[in-house]
Amino acid sequence: NAGVMQNPRHLVRRRGQEARLRCSPVKGHSHVYWYRQLPEEGLKFMVYLQKENIIDESGMPKERFSAEFPKEGPSILRIQQVVRGDSAAYFCASSKRGGLNEQFFGPGTRLTVL
Amino acid sequence: QKEVEQNSGPLSVPEGAIASLNCTYSDRGSQSFFWYRQYSGKSPELIMSIYSNGDKEDGRFTAQLNKASQYVSLLIRDSQPSDSATYLCAVNTGYSNQFYFGTGTSLTVIP
């Protein structure tokens, strides 16, 4: 029973480069959430997606950040032209039915921007 | 005002004691409540979910929900050193897709 998978686990980028973070949900889960966690801070919601649809992106910065969850393949969080302030742990969570239901987290991608 | 508030701790209890973790939330319409455990450098792990007023028990863990007072708590009985972690409270209002997370309470169980 595979859980949520994320890759890469660690990603180092220089300022101005692009970062691509991947998330494969639990098998049978069609709801994916992305969160960001800064050191000593709580988890902050970024975006909620279902297959081929962005349902809620209210937590995502308007510029440089985008997310997708294609019909086939993993969900991808893309950060263009990264800056040092983007350094954080990015977690993906999946849920079977969305809404009020439980979310299960992947191991996270730790992004470091030099 | 933050949506979800937790005492950051650290909370220290001796091994075998009961650890009590508390969380308050601001939106009276909140409908689902969750406790996650997060070890340092790791991802959050779901411990308990609770949707109705009262107590819900699962092994050594008991979640308590009081919607009138807008708080949810987690009791850990017979605390073990392996319970040392940060405990995150999460709340979903039902009309938002978001889980709102508290900043977590750091728990240390002393052998």
What's the pLDDT at B1? 62
Secondary structure element (H or E) that encloses residue B88, with its range = strand B85-92
The residue among B94 and A3 whose pLDDT is bigger is: A3
What's the pLDDT at B29? 87
- Confidence bin at B14 (pLDDT 50/70/90): very high
Go through chain B and tell me how many residues it has: 111
What's the pLDDT at A97? 83
- Rounded to whole angstroms, the Cα distance separating B11 from B13 reads 7
- Confidence bin at A1 (pLDDT 50/70/90): low
The answer to whether the Cβ–Cβ distance between B94 and A99 falls below 8 Å is yes
- Strand bridging mode A10-13 / A109-113: parallel
- Rounded to whole angstroms, the Cα distance separating B9 from A31 reads 33
Disruptive mutation site among A4, A32, A47, A103 for chain B (greatest number of B CBs within 10 Å)? A103
- pLDDT of B42 over the 80 cut: yes
- Confidence bin at A9 (pLDDT 50/70/90): very high
Interface of A with B in 65-94 (CB under 8 A): 91
B34, B94, B103: residue with CB nearest A41 = B103
Local structure of B57: helix, strand or coil: strand
B36, B88, B98: residue with CB nearest A59 = B98
Within A1-114, strands assigned E span: 5-7, 10-13, 19-24, 31-37, 43-50, 53-56, 65-68, 75-79, 88-95, 104-105, 109-113
